[in-house]
Amino acid sequence: MALAGGVLGLAAISLTSDAAAARKILYVQGKIDKYCYNGTLDRCYQNGDYGARYWGGLVGSTRRSEAYFVGYNGTSDPREWGSYVNGWRLSDGTYTGDGPYWNRAQSQIHAALWWGPDKGGAGCNNANNYCVLACHSAGCYALDYYFAHFDPSWETSAGHLNAYTIYAVASASGGSELANARTGVGGTVKALADAALNVYGLSDSWWAGPDNLWPMTAALETALARSFNHDATAGRSTYHSAGIDSGGAGWFTDGYFGSRNDGAVSFHSACGYESQVTTNNCLDAGGTCASWSGCPWYNPFCTRYCRDFRKYTHWSNHYVLTDGNAYGAGGFDTSFYAYNKTHLQMRGVLPYILEWYGE
């Protein structure tokens, strides 16, 4: 009997193995002051330097053959479809390489998903490929926008897109208060942006002032990031992981508003909340449990039995990964359902999350 079971088991494994498609993990970058490009190398370009990387060594290093990097101009609006240019635009205004390149997020995501490897994409519409999407910060904003505007007729003409899950670390799809604050030129709210700069040691252009504003920063204003329907996902589901370490930036929301952030985005964004709420918990389990109407004050069960402890809602098909003890990622705080990591450090958490969840 046991032998039969073993044989059946082997047969099942064999069948599964035969049916399994080649897995590809597409990493979608966020805001960066460089031009990155699509491909299997994590390389960004600026001023003659191809050496800059967005993701760092951990992402894609262990399963190199599965990694595909979706790159775009990290200062541009993540909702934008770029115009066609037959080459890569250099800083002196000339073009190089064998085009086409768009260098805008929507076009680059589109090309990465739908073009085969022979055309420079990942070929996710090929039934032999199974794509998993992973994103950081504004890359998640770009993906949210892409799938909110996903035209079903594309699948009719080019085949079903084998990409279903998005792992979003430190997602900026709900925008960032720092992008709002960058316009506070006359008030002390600008101190927020300055504090973030101090933490990251980034150039002044990271959260540029009104005289030198990147389209990316403008697009990250919360009112704009939340102006389209994030509940429309074309069926794709997003799993969020937030960072909780503001890096000592001392963001205002930490104290006064009882909210948390990773130094760049608040929980309302990183956790996929559908409203711009101030919360200190990715599942908002930190508050008191609601009692039901008519339950008398002296009933001890009124506060013990919490039918529904949430106060706020997530967008449809947006979930929070609550089991953070992914091997090696560490530092997960279960009272907040978030990692003790800063916004940029969350990129390094991503490979552990992918491993932990069997991707």
Partner 1 sequence: MNKRALFSTLGLVLIAGLIGLGLIQRRLGASHPHVHAGVEADARDDALSQESSLRKLADADDETYRRTYDTNIAVADPRRVLAQNASGPDLVTHYKAYFRYPHNSRPLNDDMFSLLDPLKIQTAPVPVFKANANTATDRPDYVVQFFAPRQSITGDEVFSATLRVQDANGVEVLPTIEKASVLSDIKTGRVELSQAEQFEGLQPEEGLRGFAWKAPAKTRPYWGELELSVSLDIDGVKLVETLPFSSTPAAPAKFTGHFSEALVDGSLVVKAELEASEAGSYVFEGSLYQQASNAPVSWARNIVHVHVGTQNIEYLFFGRIFHDKELEGAFALRHVRGYRMNQAYDPGAMLDRTLFMQQQRAQSSDQQARALEIADEPLHQFVAVWPTDYLTQSYQLADFSDKEYDGPDKQQTLEAVAQNGNGVSHAP
Cβ-based nearer residue to partner 1, 54 or 315: 315
- In the bound complex, what is the minimum distance in angstroms from residue 52's beta carbon to partner 1? 25
User: CA-CA distances (angstroms) from residue 349 to 64, 328, 336?
Assistant: 17, 8, 16
22-28/237-241 β-pairing: unpaired
Are 139 and 28 contacting, i.e. CB atoms less than 8 angstroms apart? yes
**Three-class DSSP labels, 184-236:** CCCCCCHHHHHHHHHHHCCCCCCCCCHHHCCHHHHHCCHHHHCCCCCCCCCCC
- In the bound complex, what is the minimum distance in angstroms from residue 269's beta carbon to partner 1? 11
**Around Cβ 4, how many Cβ atoms within 10 Å?**
8
Cβ-based nearer residue to partner 1, 59 or 220: 220
Rounded (to 5) percent helix, strand, coil in the chain: 30, 15, 55
Cβ-based nearer residue to partner 1, 34 or 314: 314
- In the bound complex, what is the minimum distance in angstroms from residue 336's beta carbon to partner 1? 13
Cβ-based nearer residue to partner 1, 41 or 232: 232
Helix axes 138-148, 105-114, angle to 10 degrees: 70
- In the bound complex, what is the minimum distance in angstroms from residue 49's beta carbon to partner 1? 25
- Greatest CA span in the chain, whole angstroms? 79
- In the bound complex, what is the minimum distance in angstroms from residue 253's beta carbon to partner 1? 8
